[in-house]
């Protein structure tokens, strides 16, 4: 069983492409014995034009870096931007034109 925890204030849904990415990321965390901790979706304050408001971005809390940025990038594949912060990761679907 895959464990996904959401901060109490997390609100909103995700686009299908982000739901699929979330499942892949959660699988890595669970394989390593840790739940995926979601800290933000469509809630909170984000920069203007943020993909959070379109359901195309999600933030994951991981202070201890149980999973590396390269593992997340490999799991989600092309078209995704993954940014590492001290508190965890920001993942968004933002494919670049060829």
Q: What is the pLDDT along the chain (98 residues), one digit of tens a residue?
A: 678 887 877 778 899 999 999 999 999 999 999 999 998 887 777 777 889 889 999 999 999 999 999 999 999 999 999 999 999 999 999 988 87
Instruction: In whole angstroms, give the CA distance from residue 44 to residue 32.
Output: 29
Amino acid 1: pLDDT:
66
CATH of 4-93, one of 3.30.1380.10, 1.10.4080.10, 1.10.390.10, 3.40.47.10: 3.30.1380.10
How many Cα atoms within 13 Å fall on the side-chain side of residue 4?
17
DSSP state of 70: H
Tracing tokens 């469509």 back to the chain, one arrives at 42
Given CA atoms 29, 73, 16, 62 in this order, what sign does their dihedral have? positive
């Amino acid at each position: 069983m895959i464990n996904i925890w959401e901060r109490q204030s997390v609100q909103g849904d995700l686009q299908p492409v982000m739901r699929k990415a979330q499942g892949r990321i959660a699988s890595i965390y669970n394989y390593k014995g840790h739940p995926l901790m979601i800290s933000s979706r469509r809630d909170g304050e984000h920069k203007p034009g943020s993909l959070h408001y379109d359901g195309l971005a999600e933030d994951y809390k991981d202070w201890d870096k149980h999973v590396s940025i390269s593992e997340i990038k490999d799991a989600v594949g092309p078209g995704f931007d993954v940014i590492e912060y001290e508190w965890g990761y920001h993942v968004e679907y933002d494919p670049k034109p060829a």
